[in-house]
Amino acid sequence: YSADLVVAHFLGQGLLVDFPSQGRPSRQDHRCGEVGFGTLRDARRPQPAHQVAERPGRAQDQEPEGRRRQGAPEPERQRKVLELLERATTETQNGDFSAATQTCQEVLRLDPASASAKKLLKRSEMELEKLKRVAELLAEAQRCQSQRNYQDCIRLTLEALTLNPHHTAHRELNAQARVALEKERKFQQLFREALQQEESENFPQAMQSLEPALRLDPENGDALTATQRITEKLNRQIRV
């Protein structure tokens, strides 16, 4: 081939081959031209699908977006998570379970897999439920005390103290109910004795039983009525 024909052919194909500046192209130049034609044809020829799939390149571009985002959290997020966990631990130790719950939820928004946050959150929620139940028991126990139902008052305060042994209001209410119940039992005993003595017409002894009973419960209507009645009987007995 002449140099002019080869150059013209490659120019028509959009390629440019540099030949020696002097003389005709060498055998090596012809081989380059032949390789060039072959390479051009191969480049235009469609490749099989399996070759395209196996072509080396940027494999990470073919990975799912979610997988590329996996890995260790960013340093700033790790720092924030540790800071919030420390705060939640302190709030739990101080008994501020409502604040600890909110802090743990904030941690889980940053790191949904945090085992420490889940553990603290579970404990805080359980403690909040305990506090709610203790408050309900206190209201019920106070109502029982006002109705002089001391046995139920003691039962309710004991249930609350199993949940929170150091609850001041329940401890005080329990102690008050026990004292009141003991006084009531003593009163009932003295009052029954007074009625038995009245029935036996032992009015002086009946009055001796009613006096300490009234000191235990000065406003007891039954005791006041019995005192008036037995006093009248005693006076009639003396007159006779």
pLDDT at 53 over 90: no
pTM of the model as a whole: 0.59
Cβ neighbours around 196 below 10 Å, total: 13
Range among 10-19, 38-47, 49-58, 127-136 with highest mean pLDDT value: 127-136
Instruction: Name residue, tokens 């009015």.
Output: 203
pLDDT tier, 4 (very low <50, low <70, confident <90, very high otherwise): low
More confident position, 150 or 72? 150
Angstrom distance (rounded) from CA 74 to CA 89: 23
pLDDT tier, 125 (very low <50, low <70, confident <90, very high otherwise): very high
State the pLDDT at residue 105: 95
pLDDT at 9 over 80: no
Cα 36 to Cα 13, 33, 132: the distances in Å are: 11, 5, 86
pLDDT at 194 over 70: yes
pLDDT tier, 239 (very low <50, low <70, confident <90, very high otherwise): confident
pLDDT tier, 238 (very low <50, low <70, confident <90, very high otherwise): confident
pLDDT tier, 57 (very low <50, low <70, confident <90, very high otherwise): very low
In degrees to the nearest 10, what's the CA dihedral of 127, 128, 133, 136? 140
State the pLDDT at residue 13: 53
* Cα distance between the two ends of the chain: 167
pLDDT at 46 over 90: no
DSSP code of residue 54: T
